[in-house]
Amino acid sequence: MAKASAAEPGRGAANTPALNAEALERATALGEALIGNINKVLVGKDEQVGLAVICLLARGHALIEDVPGVGKTTLAKAVARSIGGRFERIQFTPDLLPSDVVGINMYDPENRGFQFRPGPVFANVLLADEINRATERQVTLDGVTHPLHAPFMVLATQNPVEFAGTFPLPEAQLDRFSLRISLGYLTPSAEVEMLDRFEDSNPLDDLGEVAGEDEIREAQNAVATVEVAGEVKQYIVRLVAGSRDHPDLTLGASPRASIALLRLSQARAAIDGRDYATPDDVKALAPPVLGHRLVFKPSAEMRGAGPDELLRKLIDSEPVPQTRPAALG
């Protein structure tokens, strides 16, 4: 891991957490352990598993979108098993009520008052299954704010097929997800390996815990200390702003996307054993971070335009900064 100088400008400023090299090294080891553990269940999905762990360490939420049967729920459960803590699952249906998610205030005759009964949202990992079949870090009920557990991560699944009884997620809701993960079908050799693993039992049943809540929180705090140079921040802003001016789009990425790119780049760098983010981190994360936030014009959709090609051209068109933090050499 590259070491930052103790006298590095900007470190320890009011808005910049102080770098703790040992904590960052533990975060690197934890990220690698989480990826390795989840890969005991999922086969041939190293990139997607890495994105899920990056999202967790960046305190983000992930939308897992793909066709049925490719392992969306398995990925979410494997993440939950790996970090311990409380896991809850909500099966989203059109008749789902707010109280089914946040809980209710129930009258307690012994105390002659109402007592809050928390719902499944008060978990460390919340699986929102088929979220598009339904009509933050705190919940307000009857004027009382209840903080959620920390760490807290939402892993939401949805199918891009079987539209009967589903509702498109509004742009504002999509924007809440730090990134979108698409699993895709396995290669033939990977699918054979999957059959080998599942032949006698489900490996998810025996998946152990890699880290507890305290370790996850420490790793998240360490990730926040990863350096992001000014040139890299400017690069993030140029990519995001470029989506807003594109002639094929009616809606580009929001400033929330810029923040997501920043935080996820920090987490990717930490897992890679670096205490500084690079433009390559940004380039690698731009498609899963920006793709689900783009709204195409009907004329562009008729031409078959899609986020993958648009983002590839956008990334290729933006000059990549070549500088690194001075203290890192």
Q: What is the pLDDT of residues 191-219, one digit of tens each?
A: 999 999 999 999 999 999 999 899 999 99
143 in any annotated domain: no
Confidence of residue 7 (pLDDT cuts 50, 70, 90): very low
Percent of the chain with pLDDT over 90: 51
pLDDT in tens, 243-282: 998 999 999 999 999 999 999 999 999 999 999 999 999 9
Indicate whether 211 and 248 sit together in one domain: no
- The CA distance from 232 to 22, in Å, is 25
34 in any annotated domain: yes
Indicate whether 156 and 286 sit together in one domain: no
Please give the average per-residue pLDDT across 74-92, as a whole number. Answer: 86
Helix axes 21-38, 213-223, angle to 10 degrees: 120
Domain that holds residue 239: 227-329
Q: Which of 242, 240, 266, 214 is nearest to 58 (CA)?
A: 266
Q: How many domains does the chain have?
A: 2
Is pLDDT at 329 greater than 50 in this prediction? Answer: no
Indicate whether 322 and 206 sit together in one domain: no
Question: 142 near 115, Cβ under 8 Å?
Answer: no
Chain centre to alpha carbon of residue 27: 17
- What is the predicted pLDDT for the residue at 325? 52
Scanning the structure block, which residue is given the tokens 């589903």? 166
Indicate whether 209 and 232 sit together in one domain: no
109 in any annotated domain: no
- What is the predicted pLDDT for the residue at 324? 58
Query: Which stretch of DSSP H or E encloses residue 113?
Result: strand 113-118
| Boundary (domain end) residue, out of 167, 195, 225 | 225
Scanning the structure block, which residue is given the tokens 């956008």? 314
299 in any annotated domain: yes
Is pLDDT at 327 greater than 60 in this prediction? Answer: no
- The CA distance from 2 to 22, in Å, is 12
Residue that wins the pLDDT comparison between 87 and 137: 87
Indicate whether 264 and 313 sit together in one domain: yes
- CATH code of the domain containing 246: 1.10.8.80
| Boundary (domain end) residue, out of 181, 203, 225 | 225
Is pLDDT at 166 greater than 90 in this prediction? Answer: no
120 in any annotated domain: no
Indicate whether 31 and 86 sit together in one domain: yes
- The CA distance from 81 to 119, in Å, is 20
Indicate whether 67 and 193 sit together in one domain: yes
- What is the predicted pLDDT for the residue at 70? 84
Computed over its alpha carbons, how large is the radius of gyration of the chain?
Answer: 21
Percent of the chain with pLDDT over 70: 87
Sheet containing 87-91, strands listed edge to edge, beginning at the edge strand earlier in sequence: 87-91, 125-129, 153-158, 62-65, 179-181
Indicate whether 175 and 320 sit together in one domain: no
Least confident of 29-33, 51-55, 290-294: 290-294
Indicate whether 232 and 301 sit together in one domain: yes
Q: Which of 101, 94, 54, 45 is nearest to 74 (CA)?
A: 45
Indicate whether 312 and 186 sit together in one domain: no
Mean pLDDT of the chain, nearest integer? 85
| Boundary (domain end) residue, out of 225, 240, 264 | 225
Please give the average per-residue pLDDT across 175-183, as a whole number. Answer: 93
Confidence of residue 135 (pLDDT cuts 50, 70, 90): very low
Quickly count: other Cβ atoms within 10 Å of residue 320's Cβ. Answer: 14
Instruction: Report residue 95 as tokens.
Output: 């008749």
Indicate whether 186 and 254 sit together in one domain: no
End-to-end, the C-alpha distance of the chain in Å comes to 13
Is pLDDT at 11 greater than 50 in this prediction? Answer: no
Indicate whether 284 and 157 sit together in one domain: no
Confidence of residue 165 (pLDDT cuts 50, 70, 90): low
- What is the predicted pLDDT for the residue at 28? 97
6 in any annotated domain: no
- CATH code of the domain containing 62: 3.40.50.300
104 in any annotated domain: no
Give me the phi and psi of 118, to 5 degrees please.
Answer: -65, 145
1 in any annotated domain: no
pLDDT in tens, 304-319: 888 889 999 999 999 9
